[in-house]
Amino acid sequence: LLLTLLRRYLALRTIPGPFLASLTDLWLALRIWRGEYFVDIVSELHKAYGPVVRTGPNRVSFASAEAIPEIYGTSKVYSKAASYQPMTLLAKGQEIPTIVTLRDEKRVTEIKRHVSNGFAQSTWLKQEHQIDGTIDILLDQLRKRAGTVISLNKWLSFWGFDTLTMLAFSDMQGHMEAGAEVDKTSAGAKARFDHWRAWALLPSLEALLYKNRFVQSFQKPSSGLAKLAMKRIEERKASTDEDAPDQDLLGRYLAASKKAPDMIGSRDVMALTISTIHAGSETVAHTSSFALAYALDKMEIFQKLEQEILTAGIRSSPAAYADVEKLPYLDAIIREALRFSASPNTMERTIPPAGAEICGVALPGGTDVSVAKPCTSRDESIFGPHADQFDPERWLHADEQQRREMEHATLAFSFGRRVCIGQHLARIEMKKLIATVVREFKVSGL
């Protein structure tokens, strides 16, 4: 044990950080279990120790945007770290990987090759009428509550799940019409992400405690969302509808599975579909809510947004994407909201056996490295002297080079090989939703 601790300490001894970080991940895990977030703790460490910090025996964090292409870029392939393992689902003792949790880069590339066309903007716009349908339901529910104080974040969360299930299955769970969560879908998604947050730093212990045969024998029955997915998968497999592959996301996943059954099996189809719904719905709902909340906090910002939308010549309700896609102030507000929103977990990659040098720092093979998004997305050398303030104008006044640097440092949809394939859908949903809500209602904050 002493020899192991000594090796751990010596491997990264030149990198500053808390002494306990050189010995164990428990010191950081304990803070997270007490309710703190990894990204907040790491940001605090960077303020204390500088742009490169040792956060664990085998972990190093960088606060510089220059590290982004080196860690996440396409020229070097660093696999996702073991900290993603707690997000992997198990069914009957077998792991069900998703694009998010897969650590095999070759397999990720192959899966993306088969499914990426289904995530193109032009493909999603073929389903725009389905997004319009869910926005209509949201508008009806909000009108019924006109003149009252509501939790916009809650209602946008309902809308997010209903929209993603509609796009995935051409069917909804009905959160909005019920005015409440259905089948604990949102709670299930939150529990999954909370579990990841709690155990990301101790993946081996998590596997020992939660993924052994004894614990799996007490596995809870499938969630309502999983049951809906299984039902729709069986229906599609039995269907003779030739248009099914183009109908929705599930159809496209099944078509990809048919072409490459060894790469994308039945379990993969369900896991990919459910993970897309979980990740996509929450990201869009929270970012849209943040955008409106930040704008309402400074009424001059909201008034500029409102003026742009009301004078844009929008011809329909819900707003057509063609009418709002290129509205500059709306786009700037969404970009700024994405800058301030951050995953509470780490985005770690593992250095290959040969080792690597990042930002002039030599690292041995097997080291887990990451970039602290809260640091890069508030870097004053990139975003200016008021980087900690919500200001959409920064995107409007930036030249092309500055915009690229800001997008790069924001890490809104990750970067490089693992860039989020759902980003086109997210932008479509957010722009349509925000423009429609602002156009249809007189909104004010508390």
Q: 191: closest CA among 178, 181, 205?
A: 181
Determine contact, residues 105/77, Cβ cutoff 8 Å.
Answer: yes
Neighbour count for residue 49 (Cβ, 10 Å): 18
Quickly state the pLDDT bin for 244 (edges 50, 70, 90): low
Q: Output b/e per residue, 179-203; b: 16+ Cβ within 10 A.
A: eebbbebbebbeebbeebbebbbbb
User: What is the per-residue pLDDT across 137-196, written as a single tens digit (0 to 9) for each?
Assistant: 999 999 998 888 888 889 999 999 999 999 999 988 899 999 998 877 777 778 888 889
Exposed/middle/buried for residue 159 (C-beta within 10 Å: 0-12, 13-18, 19+): buried
Higher-pLDDT residue of 286, 266: 286
Report which secondary-structure segment, H or E, holds 80: strand 79-80
Nearest to 286 by CA among 212, 237, 340: 340
Residues, the chain: 446
Distance CA 350, CA 103 (A): 10
Containing H/E element for 91?
Answer: strand 89-91
CB 278 within 8 A of CB 154: no
For the whole model, what pTM was predicted? 0.92
Tokens for 254, please give them: 């099944």
Contact 225, 188 (CB under 8 A): yes
Q: What is the largest CA-CA distance in the chain?
A: 71
**266-297 and 105-115 helices cross at what angle (nearest 10)?**
80
In which band, very low, low, confident or very high, does the pLDDT at 2 lie, cut at 50, 70 and 90? Answer: low
Mean pLDDT of 252-278: 88
Q: What is the secondary structure of 211-254 as a DSSP string?
A: SSHHHHTTPPPPPHHHHHHHHHHHHHHH---TTHHHHSHHHHHH
Per-residue model confidence as pLDDT tens digits over 406-445? 999 999 998 888 888 999 999 999 999 999 999 998 877 6
Cα angle 189-195-200, degrees, rounded to a multiple of 5: 125
pLDDT at 11 over 90: no
DSSP category for residue 412: B
What residue ranges define each of the domains in the chain, with the CATH number in brackets? 2-440 (1.10.630.10)
Please give the structure tokens belonging to residue 208.
């020992």
Structure tokens of 212?
């052994």
Q: What is the pLDDT of residue 97?
A: 72
Quote the pLDDT of residue 242. 61
- Do 157 and 186 contact (CB within 8 A), yes or no? yes
Share the mean pLDDT of the chain. Answer: 89
Q: What is the pLDDT of residue 60?
A: 98
**Residue 119 — very low, low, confident or very high, per pLDDT cuts 50/70/90?**
very high
Using only C-alpha atoms, the chain has a radius of gyration, in whole angstroms, of 23
In this structure, are residues 413 and 420 in contact, taking their beta carbons and an 8 Å threshold? yes
Task: Name the DSSP letter for residue 197.
Answer: H
- Residue 224's pLDDT band, with cuts at 50, 70 and 90, is low
Return the percentage of the chain with pLDDT > 90, whole number: 63
Average pLDDT over residues 113-135: 95
DSSP-assigned states of every residue in 112-134: HHHHGGGGSHHHHHTTHHHHHHH
What is the model's pLDDT at position 345? Answer: 76
Residue 94 has pLDDT above 80, yes or no: no
Distance CA 170, CA 72 (A): 35
Residues making up the annotated binding site are 420
One-letter amino acid of 227 = K
Beta 361-363 vs 356-358: how paired, if at all? Answer: antiparallel
H or E, element range at 400: helix 400-410
What pLDDT is recorded for position 235? 85
Count of CA atoms in the C-beta half-sphere (13 A) of 183: 16
As annotated, the binding site for heme includes 420
Place of tokens 């974040």: 153
Amino acid present at 18: P
- pLDDT over 70 at 110, yes or no: yes
What's the pLDDT at 90?
Answer: 65
Question: Is residue 221 predicted with pLDDT exceeding 60?
Answer: no
In the predicted model, what is the mean pLDDT of residues 211-222? 70
What percent of the chain has a predicted confidence (pLDDT) above 70? 92
Cα 202 from Cα 350, distance rounded (Å): 15
